Chain A
């Protein structure tokens, strides 16, 4: 606690708005509704808002699951933002800037905004916190990332994540939202590392899915996860992250959950690619976003600019964008030069 900080009365309920009624946005809202906060969830369409408010379901993203009756949905951003203490943004990275701009039309400087999106903007390589900085007046910005498979959260399982911000107030207030419940939120200041971890792991999850789809076992997956972590850390450190962040929930924690679980969308895409489906067919067949597809392109291009070599990223990129088949790509990956493990990772 720093000098002159005004301590919030613990019993006072908080106004929270979750922007985004997708899979993870709904999951986070569900956890928040378990506490005594006034939780609203903004969704794009009136139909979806009505479904949540009247039926307490979100069939598109969580079929067959009953949502808390305390959860209120709205499709009116302008009416929801004033008076809200914390805004949590959980929309796909492709739509993030557009939504951030809309939020920016109503936000004020004393409000806190935290995002839960794991992606990097194509073309600009901007992280989501940077987009929030550009599109809103907000300064008190944070990022939440960790092993948070939405379906497991909706099933009531305990989970945890990291909330990173330069501002202690953001960390404190966000932790206060979840404290005492089944979601443990740890605090940190490495925003870059947290966001890179959350985005990069989706690339490795694609690779792990390809390996699983090709029928390989745990040895292969472990190789991909471990070397993938090394690439993630090198990329993050090159952009200014703290290497130790990758040893925590936002790094290895999230990586393990996403690569090991068939529930991960990115893992599922990898499996389907290995089984011979094309990327176009996979994208058309599902509403759910696999962020790893766009993140692979963003990281690949940025790595080239930074003159960094990432064998796994290049392998996934070759499958997604260069027409290389998964078996050919895996052979190329295994034939890539080996050096000393950890030699290029400076502590």
Chain B
């Protein structure tokens, strides 16, 4: 497989900075608030952020910068204020750009499987002994990449791609990097939370795998505009992009059904720019993909955050399991010792309007007719921007992405068993609302196994029907195994890793303990499955 991609030279990097500044300024010129208000608002937000910044040396340096800008802006005419705004934009752009270097990318992607394999060897001597006659074990056994892999490989040759994975864990970034490497795809650039770069384990991979820095603590609208413009311009230049359109890890465990549209919309923006400039390969393709775990590293912290009733959930969590090296190693150990699979499932490629794209890169409507997608942006025969129209087009794309996520979610035994147990609890405690049920467990601490087995069979039959209709996917733990084995599989996963055990079998009864964890894993099942 040849790697079509561009090497990011220093000259390119400077060009990107200057163009992003230029476009950002043009965008601010259109803002009805006016340059002066944008400038002072940005300074206000930044000063607020910096007052809470833990790194005081860094904060002092930046505060000096903003104080200087502010004092000059107060005395400046509009033209000078615009220059000051350009300085702020330059500051933002340079931070965002990161240090992507293709040589480091290639080294890091080769390192990922080696590092994970090493962890496997270090922690699971039995597995080494078993596999010695066959050589070293292979991460490919543990991470299953399926779905439209060939289509993804094809469209990266035909245009610029935007890969949009679901997001449940901070390990997702590494796994996606592994997936891209495994499929022989060209380098991707992507935005990673600035907080992740402080994580020693993950930070190395972020810098090397093409991550640009996204500081989610920056609230100023200007910063978000610069971020979007940077991402969009990189797409125009032909750099493949990757980001998590849910914005953050799913706290509830649910597959994303509400997406951040700003970055997604930059694909369309880049496409229109490309057509207007007569670019040879103007097309932008969008590829949703789901990442599916039997066990989620940060599940306990995430669901607890979701359920917090007092105040807003923490949007940025900086002290969860993914920041504790021992926790990560325990997690990996658990996964490998259970032979647990991580499924990465790639959906059919889409165009920037949400239509399916075939293997030749042609857009197809629901009746499989070829669509001339350029026509969507034509006004009297010329490609034009129209912000309201384009926002609606992006909504269409977002709907298609969410449908793909739902369809390509891979359901495992932990999800099924969690749903069965919670359904039983709800039915047997009709007077309790969900939160009280989760906290108290109702009036029965356990349930008869016989009944659970029957319910597992019934629910599995519904899931199989939906899988046959192509509406969801079932992993190997739900296929070709009997009910008892399925339950044992799920219980083995719940045991030992999480702080509190979710379920435990004692004799002929099943005891429920950490019901919040059950809710987390149950939530993975898409809503339409719930309704059926």
Give me the interface of A with B, judged by CB distance under 8 Å: 2-6, 8, 101, 104-105, 108-110, 133-137, 139-140, 166-169
Contacts and interface: CB of A to CB of B under 8 A. Distances in A.
Contact of A139 (B353, B367, B387, B388): B353
A136 B386 contact: no
Contact of B386 (A104, A166, A169): A169
- Most chain A CB within 10 A, of B385, B389, B393, is at B389
A110 B386 contact: no
A104 B367 contact: yes
B373 interface: yes
B257 interface: no
A135 B386 contact: no
A97 B471 CA distance: 23
Contacts of A135: 366-367
A112 to B, nearest CB: 11
Nearest first, the 5 A-B pairs at minimum CB distance are A109-B376, A109-B375, A137-B365, A4-B385, A2-B388
- Most chain B CB within 10 A, of A104, A134, A137, A166, is at A137
Contacts of B395: 166
19 contacts: A2-B386, A2-B387, A3-B30, A4-B384, A4-B385, A5-B388, A6-B384, A109-B373, A109-B378, A110-B376, A133-B366, A134-B367, A135-B366, A136-B365, A137-B365, A139-B392, A166-B392, A166-B395, A167-B388
B371 interface: yes
B225 to A, nearest CB: 14
B379 A110 contact: yes
Contact of B389 (A8, A104, A136, A169): A169
A194 to B, nearest CB: 16
A168 B389 contact: yes
Interface in B365-383: 365-367, 369, 371-380, 382
Contacts, number: 66
Given A101-B367, A139-B392, A109 B372 contact: yes
Contacts of B392: 139, 166-167
B366 A3 contact: no
A137 B372 CA distance: 9
A142 B396 CA distance: 15
A127 B192 CA distance: 41
A4 B366 contact: no
B294 interface: no
A156 B374 CA distance: 41
Given A110-B376, A139-B376, A139-B396, A4 B371 contact: no
Contact of B387 (A3, A105, A110): A3
B385 A104 contact: no
B529 to A, nearest CB: 17
A2 B373 CA distance: 22
B277 to A, nearest CB: 16
Interface in B464-503: none
B359 to A, nearest CB: 19
Contacts of B372: 108-109
B388 A169 contact: yes
A135 B368 CA distance: 10
Nearest to A12: B380
B355 interface: yes
Nearest to B376: A109
Nearest to B382: A6
Nearest to B31: A3
Given A3-B30, A4-B387, 16 more contacts: A2-B386, A2-B388, A3-B387, A6-B382, A105-B369, A109-B353, A109-B373, A109-B374, A109-B375, A110-B377, A110-B379, A133-B366, A139-B396, A140-B389, A167-B388, A169-B389
- Most chain B CB within 10 A, of A8, A101, A169, is at A169
Contacts of B386: 2, 4-6, 169
Contacts of B396: 139
Contacts of B389: 2, 140, 167-169
A140 B376 CA distance: 9
B231 to A, nearest CB: 20
Contacts of A137: 355, 365, 369, 371
A2 B385 CA distance: 10
A110 B275 CA distance: 15
B384 to A, nearest CB: 5
Nearest to A165: B392
A2 B387 CA distance: 6
B219 to A, nearest CB: 24
A140 B389 CA distance: 9
